[in-house]
A = this chain, B = another copy of it.
Amino acid sequence: MFESLPKRVSVYEVGPRDGLQNESGLVPTADKIAFVNALARCGLSRIEITSFVSPRWIPQLADGRELAESVIRPPGVHMSALVPNRKGLDVAIAAGMKEVAVFLSASETHNKRNVNKTIADTLRAFHDVVGPARDAGLRVRAYVSTVFGCPYEGDVDPNKVLALCHTLLATGVYEISLGDTIGVANPLQVESVLALLTSEIERDKLAVHFHDTQGTALANCTAALAAGISTVDSSVGGLGGCPYAPGASGNLATEDLVAMLHAMGIETGIDLDKLVECSRMAANFVGHELPSKYLKAHTGKQARARRQLEREREEA
């Protein structure tokens, strides 16, 4: 089943944006700056750091510009920001961003509730963002939500997703992230949706973004990896979810993903121990435990027991 397994996976970190926008409390900007800088030092080469949306929509990310202007951007680390419109793009450019992301849903009702526009109108509005962004030297990523199911409409037609992908690529985005917004995808469905999409679209233009609402995110990643997909979105510690999808929660935790990839012999360039330190940092400033299982297994009692065993094994 793993003949097409990629040798290397590009992990796209969404914690500072997708994660923190779903935290009820406001995180001080200084903490966010330290967090993003620490993430960049882990070997993560792609980090979505904020969103340039109205602070009335998402007060958690109102400090986007200050954050973007303050973080250290090591060579080879691509930082991006979500932009809903031309205004957001202008701020992103002014703040020195080299990459932005646009977003829409594969289902009309979810799109309408999320951005108050039809899908067709949203796609039209992308022309005001994607072209100017590229003209300014930025690259543009697109998120498609509710690819594997919609909280309002239920099943989503994969052919509609395919058509959307073609339109988005024609608009000029370099990569499309396929979102399981409410965590209802299953591995068989992932295989079948990706078989359809990759029959017409190059694999390296597609990324997957699974939610772990029902515990299936890594199972779905396994199916996506088997289909030859080599870009996976995740959120350190499992921070975040989607505020517009009731019942949804739980981004896939980056350390859970990276630990599995490394165990499978797949390179990521990420230092797992440093990544876990970032998770602890985030748990500390959001003030609650994060859902990552790898984090739990390597924290506290269990970690002490593991270290004890390692010592015994070394002595034996």
Q: Is A2 an interface residue (CB 8 A)?
A: yes
Indicate if the CB atoms of A263 and B152 lie closer than 8 Å: no
Interface-located stretch among A13-21, A187-195, A280-288: A187-195
How far, in Å, is A180 (CB) from chain B's closest CB? 12
Q: Is A116 an interface residue (CB 8 A)?
A: no
Partner of A297, one of B152, B214, B293, B306: B214
Partner of A213, one of B188, B189, B263, B297: B297
Interface digits, A161-201 against B, CB 8 Å rule (1 contact, 0 not)? Answer: 00000000000000000000001101111010000000000
Indicate if the CB atoms of A188 and B294 lie closer than 8 Å: no
Partner of A260, one of B186, B221, B265: B186
**Most B Cβ at <10 Å: residue of A214, A246, A309:** A214
Q: Is A95 an interface residue (CB 8 A)?
A: no
Q: Is A156 an interface residue (CB 8 A)?
A: no
**Most B Cβ at <10 Å: residue of A263, A264, A308, A316:** A263
Q: Is A305 an interface residue (CB 8 A)?
A: yes
CB nearest neighbor in B for A312? B152
Which of A286-316 touch B at CB < 8 Å?
292-294, 297, 302-303, 305-306, 308-309, 312-313, 316
Q: Is A72 an interface residue (CB 8 A)?
A: no
Indicate if the CB atoms of B306 and A214 lie closer than 8 Å: no
CA distance A302 to B242 in the complex (A): 13
Indicate if the CB atoms of B246 and A1 lie closer than 8 Å: no
CA distance A216 to B261 in the complex (A): 11
Partner of A222, one of B184, B187, B246, B265: B187
Which of A218-242 touch B at CB < 8 Å?
218-219, 221-223, 226-227
Q: Is A206 an interface residue (CB 8 A)?
A: no
**Most B Cβ at <10 Å: residue of A213, A216, A222, A305:** A222
Q: Is A256 an interface residue (CB 8 A)?
A: yes
Residues of B within 8 Å of A187, CB to CB, are 2, 222, 260, 264
**Known contacts A264-B186, A264-B188: does B250 contact A1 (CB below 8 Å)?**
no
CA distance A152 to B316 in the complex (A): 10
Indicate if the CB atoms of B256 and A214 lie closer than 8 Å: yes
How far, in Å, is A81 (CB) from chain B's closest CB? 29
How far, in Å, is A256 (CB) from chain B's closest CB? 4
Indicate if the CB atoms of A215 and B152 lie closer than 8 Å: no
**Known contacts A186-B263, A312-B152, A313-B152: does B213 contact A246 (CB below 8 Å)?**
no
Q: What are 30 of the A-B contact pairs (CB < 8 Å)?
A: A1-B2, A1-B226, A1-B227, A2-B188, A2-B191, A151-B306, A151-B309, A152-B309, A154-B313, A183-B297, A187-B222, A187-B264, A188-B263, A188-B264, A212-B215, A214-B259, A215-B218, A215-B260, A215-B293, A216-B256, A218-B218, A219-B221, A219-B222, A219-B260, A246-B309, A247-B302, A247-B305, A247-B309, A249-B297, A249-B302
